[in-house]
Structure formats: C-alpha cells, structure tokens
C-alpha cells in the first residue's frame, strides 16, 4: 500500500515501486507498461479533479491474485465520482473536431481486464484487475509469451 498526497509530483512515487514489484514478480515489459499506463491515468484523474478545491491523499493498494492476475485499487476521499460512467471519447474525428482530453479513462479501460468503481464511506475506490501472461510454463496454463 502506498499513500501519498494527491499531487502530480508524486506520480513516480506511486508508480515506480509498483513497477519494480511487478518486474520482480516476473511480468514482461508489455504487461508492466499496461499496468503503469492504467495506474498513471487513474492517479492523474484523482490528482486533477478529486480534491478541487482542497487537498487530500491517494492510497494505492496492490495484490497478486490467482491465475496470473494482479489487483490494483486506487482510493481517494474526494468528491464522489464514478469514472466508469464516462462515455468513450470520439476516436475517429479529424484533428480540428477532436477534443483535447478525455482519453485517460479510455486508456484505463483498454489496459485493464476489469474496471469497477465503488463508494465505501467517504472513499472512491477504483478497482482494476490485469490478466498477465503466464511467467513460465507451469504445466497447467499454455505458455503465451508477451507480444
């Protein structure tokens, strides 16, 4: 668990230790990058919007589940906000018609295998689950190396 003030300047302090943990657990670079991307986008959303005006913390919880799955939870006590309700941005509009922004949650959806939100007490909890490629042939799961 890593709990720090919700500031963009703390981004590396959440992401780097989790990346190192994932690499140490044998995840390939592609899987680690997918988790980093989803985590960054989730953290940036909270840093920018959850405590405006004001200040607060973000707690990141991470856990290894079964079958090469990894759980990441991003917890804040800011204004109630379910990011899962945001619509998919328009992805085909030309440069002049495309909106700047709105891609962060889309990237989280694409990178995570499961994305759910719940409100617990005063907290927003974004729960992300990632299915990683098997680390090695364990005799049960067919080995599928990262692309």
Partner 1 sequence: MEMIVRQEDQSVVVSVNGRMDAVTASQFDKRLETLMAEGALHIIVNFRDLEYISSAGLQTILATAKKLENINGEILLANLSGAVKEVFEISGFDTIFRIFDTEDAALASI
Least Å distance, CB 110 to partner 1, is: 5
Least Å distance, CB 44 to partner 1, is: 5
Q: Does 103 bind partner 1 (CB under 8 A)?
A: yes
Contacts of residue 29, defined as CB under 8 A and 6 or more positions apart, other chains included, come to: 146
Q: Which of 28, 84, 107, 123 binds partner 1 (CB under 8 A)?
A: 107
State the number of binding residues for partner 1 (CB under 8 A).
Answer: 25
Select 103 or 123, whichever has its Cβ closest to partner 1. Answer: 103
Q: Which of 61, 69, 106, 127 binds partner 1 (CB under 8 A)?
A: 106
Produce one character per residue of 58-95: b if its CB has 16 or more CB atoms within 10 Å, e if not. bbbebeeeeebebebbbbbebeebebeeeeeeeeeeee
Q: Which stretch binds partner 1 (CB under 8 A): 6-14, 59-67, 75-83, 126-134?
A: 6-14
Q: Which residue has the tokens 């617990």?
A: 120
- The DSSP string of 100-144 is SS--HHHHHHHH-SEEEEEEETTEEEEEEEEEPPPSS--SSSPP-
Select 114 or 120, whichever has its Cβ closest to partner 1. Answer: 114
Among the residues of 27-102, which ranges form H helices? 29-45
Q: Does 94 bind partner 1 (CB under 8 A)?
A: yes
Q: Does 30 bind partner 1 (CB under 8 A)?
A: yes
Q: Quick one: residue 117, left, alpha or beta (phi over 0 = left, psi -120 to 50 = alpha)? A: beta
Q: Which residues bind partner 1 (CB under 8 A)?
A: 8-9, 11-12, 30, 33, 36-37, 40-41, 44, 91-96, 98, 100-101, 103-104, 106-107, 110
């Amino acid at each position: 668990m890593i709990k720090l003030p919700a500031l963009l300047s703390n981004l590396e302090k959440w992401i780097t230790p989790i990346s190192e943990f994932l690499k140490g657990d044998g995840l390939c670079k592609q899987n680690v990058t997918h988790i980093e991307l989803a985590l960054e986008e989730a953290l940036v959303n909270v840093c920018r919007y959850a405590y405006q005006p004001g200040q607060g913390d973000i707690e990141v919880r991470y856990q290894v589940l079964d079958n090469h799955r990894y759980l990441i939870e991003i917890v804040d006590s800011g204004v109630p906000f379910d990011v899962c309700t945001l619509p998919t941005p328009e992805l085909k509009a030309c440069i002049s018609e495309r909106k700047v922004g709105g891609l962060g949650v889309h990237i989280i959806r694409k990178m995570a295998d499961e994305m759910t939100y719940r409100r617990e007490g005063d907290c927003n909890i974004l729960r992300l689950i990632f299915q990683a490629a098997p680390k090695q042939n364990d005799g049960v799961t067919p080995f599928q190396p990262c692309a």
